[in-house]
Amino acid sequence: MRSSRVLCVSALLLCLVSWGCARRVPAADLGAAGAEVGIRATMKSGETVAGRLLSMTGDLLVVEAIYEEAGGAEVVGRGSAARVVVDGEPVTGIVLGVEGARGARVARVERELPVADVRSATFHRSAREASLGPLAGLALGPLLGSLLGLLL
Amino acid sequence: MHCSAECSRGPRVIRLLLLVVMLTPTFSGCAVAPRARFVDEAGVQVDVQLTDGESLRGQLVSMDSDALAIEHALTKNEYTSVVRRGGEEVVVVAGRTVGPAVEAREFDIVVRERFRHRNVEELRFASRAYVGWGTLVAVGLSYALIKVVESD
């Protein structure tokens, strides 16, 4: 009975540790893998694009750009026919969705940005992962050590 | 009936697991509380494979149309030095200028190095990196603490 209990707890500990271990996602597959990497890019044209990085190669960045009406963007239309206009210029790309009430709507647009047109860009970690990381580490360590101490 | 130490551990383990199960939603709630989706500070952990066969792990901070800027650690040795040029401290390895020094630590130096896009073979982003060396230290300390309490 003791050995089966140790086996069960060991399996649970292995699951907990595996859940907390990092995944290494290829830059070209970030969106498909569900990885959350933020990007804030300033183009050579002066345009600023911010959102989630979906894919990155040496030639092309694919970004799920976020445009907020509260931030000055204009969202025209609804659903798949929606268009986003910033400073009078329509934003090129595929509108993935529009959320929120009129006046505070947020549009997500998939945009392809040639690397050659990027003046500068910074990369940012997910806020959810950044806040959960220390908490998970804080909880997992004492939990694993305590369980091992009680069982062994 | 006399209860051995083993059967008294079972309820304690169950209580501990129940505590973790109750705390996990609380931690998850804290993790999703941030208003912003991504942190303001730039830097995402990446693994880089270069075309010359070299590989390294560091923080992808920024990029432009020519290159990626990655902060990584270089071990201090007789070939590594930090010199002052143009008002900033620069790391030099075997006579080759690597890049500006970000942080000088006891055994290594963190340097921000530029890697041209054409020299990068593969780039992988780290996602969900919750468990690290601190977690292992906490496991050891908790295990030792449990043993000390039980012996008293």
A53 band by pLDDT with thresholds 50, 70 and 90: very high
For the full predicted model, state whether its pTM sits above 0.80: no
Distance from C-alpha of A137 to C-alpha of B136, rounded to nearest angstrom: 9
**Does the beta-carbon distance from B142 to A145 stay under 8 Å?**
yes
- CA A124 to each of CA A37, A73, B61: distance values in angstroms, whole numbers, following the listed order: 6, 23, 8
Neighbours of B62 (CB within 10 A): 20
Q: Specify which of A28-37, A128-137, B31-40, B115-124 reaches the highest per-range mean pLDDT.
A: B115-124
In chain B, which residue ranges form alpha helices assigned H by DSSP? 5-32, 133-151
Locate tokens 């959320």: which residue? A99
CA–CA min distance B149, chain A (Å): 10
B43 touches chain A (CB under 8 A): yes
Residues of chain B with pLDDT under 50: 1-2, 31-34
pLDDT tens sequence across B120-145 = 999 999 877 666 667 777 777 777 87
Beta strands in A16-152 (DSSP E): 23-26, 37-43, 48-56, 60-68, 74-76, 83-86, 89-90, 94-99, 106-114, 118-126
- Are β-strands B88-93 and B96-104 bridged in parallel, bridged antiparallel, or unpaired? antiparallel
Residue pair B65/A118 in contact (Cβ under 8 Å)? The answer is: yes
Q: What is the mean pLDDT of chain A?
A: 84
Read off the pLDDT of residues A59-99 as tens digits, 9 standing for 90 and up: 999 999 999 988 889 888 877 788 999 988 899 999 998 98
Which positions in chain B touch A106 (Cβ < 8 Å)? none
Q: Which residues of A touch B39 (CB under 8 A)?
A: 38, 124-127, 130
Distance from C-alpha of B37 to C-alpha of B131, rounded to nearest angstrom: 21
**Contact (CB, 8 A) for B130 and B140:** no
Report A:43-82 residues touching B (Cβ under 8 A). Answer: 44, 52, 56, 58-59
For residue A22, pLDDT over 90 is answered with: no
Q: State the complex-level ipTM.
A: 0.79
